[in-house]
A and B are shown apart, each in its own frame.
Chain A
Amino acid sequence: MSVMTLEKTIIRARDVSVYYGEKRAVSNIHMDIERNSVTAFIGPSGCGKSTLLRSMNRMNDLVPSCRVTGSIEVDGTDINSADVNIEGLRQVIGMVFQRANPFFKSIYENIAFAPRFHGLTDKRKLDEVVEESLRKAALWDEVKDRLRESALSLSGGQQQRLCIARAIAMQPTILLLDEPASALDPISTMKIEELVMSLKEEYTIVIVTHNLHQAARISDKTAFFLMGELIEYNDTSKLFTTPENEKTEAYISGRFG
């Protein structure tokens, strides 16, 4: 696929609903997510924003009772169709979770594990990938002398940046971040935010966050969810200054949620 043919829209959700058993967690979402931008999902707990995010790389497959209807297209491919290679899909769409979850392995091995599994066995190239990923995640200078140490020896903020580096090492086009800074202190949070903004040059980023200021600071577009529905989806500057929906206004001005 040449650069010329790339559409502006990279993720296209049409009539997407997600059910846990009988309960509908996400209802009839229509949404286009733009390439190389940061899109923030906001809304109160239980509004379905994480559920929708986890449908985008099919992590919901892990929940036996979960069912997704409608279509989610990534670069024109319906990710829920039967012939989609799920491992390949997850290489294109990286994910970072709420709690940093480094493998119980060395710092080096945390990054190198997946590229090696996907066929990169040349030691020198692996070293390069590890260094490049750690540099992009702004972690290289802090860990370059201790790559063989356990990743669990890192601080919480460092661990989360390691998880971002680990996702980047797969050279994905999309990064899904599920409240990546909610368990971190303010300084670590700031580092993650700077990182997200620097990464959007190369990746499309979708970030779920509880922190409205964070959404306002780092995102280009913001989607507000309530009770599983997409209430408003607009440019971040518009949504936070002149929201079209009164529920959005009530939420961002702190009247509920």
Chain B
Amino acid sequence: MRAKIMDRAATVILTLIAVLIIGTLVGLLGFILTQGWHKLNLDFLTSPPDIVKAGGGIGPQLFNSLYLLVLTMVIALPLGLGAGIYMAEYAPDNKFTQFIRMSIEVLSSLPSIVVGLFGLLVFVNMTGWGYTLFSGALALTVFNLPLLVRVTEDAIRNVPRSQKEASLALGITKWRTIVSVILPAALPGILTGTILASGRVFGEAAALLFTAGMSSPDLDFSQFSLSGPTSPLNPFRPAETLAVHIWKVNSEGLAPDARDVADGAAAVLIIAVLLFNLSARWFGAWIYKKMTSGAN
């Protein structure tokens, strides 16, 4: 009888906790979306911000956020995958490996503002680049690498050992086994981690304040050069991202509609992350299918 009551109590308590979490999440999302909904129009999404007058947009900030995400992932993904594969398949079980693992854990618990200040010191000042997208991408790489390494390692370790044995027993080399058998099987896990990391990149502000900077040049979207000072694609220009913009407008905005702009930008940020997650999941399922049943 006692066990039965405990069982019921556990069910009720766990359900309550779940409802509480979902409620908070839905409430938060709903609040942000309803507050910012009226700002969602093409003009707001594409026009540059206005510092003193009302009616400014978030075009450059939105672009900066997306571009920074791409830049960061181009740097962080190969490193994270490589390190994760090394930790799961190559690293011997010794003191050195334990030290690496401990370093990764310490790194993953660093507050992002500390990563930002480290970035200011190394990627902004020591390199002499000043505030640039590239410095921001490197800081975010430092910030997200532990997560990516960890997720990759776990995903690879979760692939059944029998898969690896099957491949090796066919005379397939270790490297090819990793690439063609283990990684496809680990892909859903790796992808989930990458989505998580991307969400963190997209929403990160503190690590970017002193690395990518708090301002953007007047971007000329008819330019495609990688070096011009007003070229959007130039990675060595300062770039204020959406999240940084929200923080800046909220704390020191001078325009009369600063609050409105912040609300709208927050809604855009949330929607972008949602869209990104959904499409990444769809893309991942598609890739998985392609890799597991395709001819090549």
A interface, CB within 8 angstroms of B = 57, 59, 62, 64, 86-91, 94-95, 97, 99, 101-106, 108-109, 112-114, 117-118, 148-150, 163, 166-167, 170
Contact = CB atoms under 8 A, between A and B. Distances in A.
B97 interface: no
Contacts of A150: 292-293
A113 B180 contact: yes
Contacts of B169: 57, 59, 90, 94-95, 97, 167
Contact of B170 (A64, A90, A99): A90
14 contacts: A57-B169, A59-B165, A59-B169, A64-B92, A90-B170, A101-B160, A101-B162, A101-B166, A103-B292, A109-B292, A113-B170, A117-B170, A118-B171, A166-B166
B167 interface: yes
A206 to B, nearest CB: 14
A167 B165 CA distance: 12
B171 A109 contact: no
A148 B293 contact: yes
Contact of B184 (A101, A104, A167): A104
B292 A87 contact: no
A150 B293 CA distance: 6
A104 B165 contact: no
A113 B92 CA distance: 29
Contacts of B185: 104
A106 B290 CA distance: 10
A239 to B, nearest CB: 28
A149 B293 contact: yes
A59 B164 CA distance: 11
Could you say which interface size class chain B belongs to? 20 to 34
A150 B165 CA distance: 19
Contacts, number: 80
A97 B172 contact: no
A148 to B, nearest CB: 6
B128 interface: no
A91 B169 CA distance: 8
Contact of A97 (B165, B184, B292): B165
Nearest to B159: A104
B181 interface: yes
Looking at B160, B293, B294, the one whose CB has the most chain A CB atoms below 10 A away is B293
B295 A97 contact: no
B176 interface: yes
Given A109-B293, A109-B295, A150-B293, 4 more contacts: A64-B92, A91-B171, A102-B166, A104-B185
Contacts of A88: 171
Contacts of B165: 59, 62, 97, 101
A87 B293 contact: no
Interface in B78-95: 92
A108 B292 CA distance: 10
A163 B166 contact: yes
B9 interface: no
B163 interface: yes
Nearest to A100: B162
Nearest to A103: B181
B168 A59 contact: yes
Nearest to A91: B171
B171 A90 contact: yes
B173 interface: yes
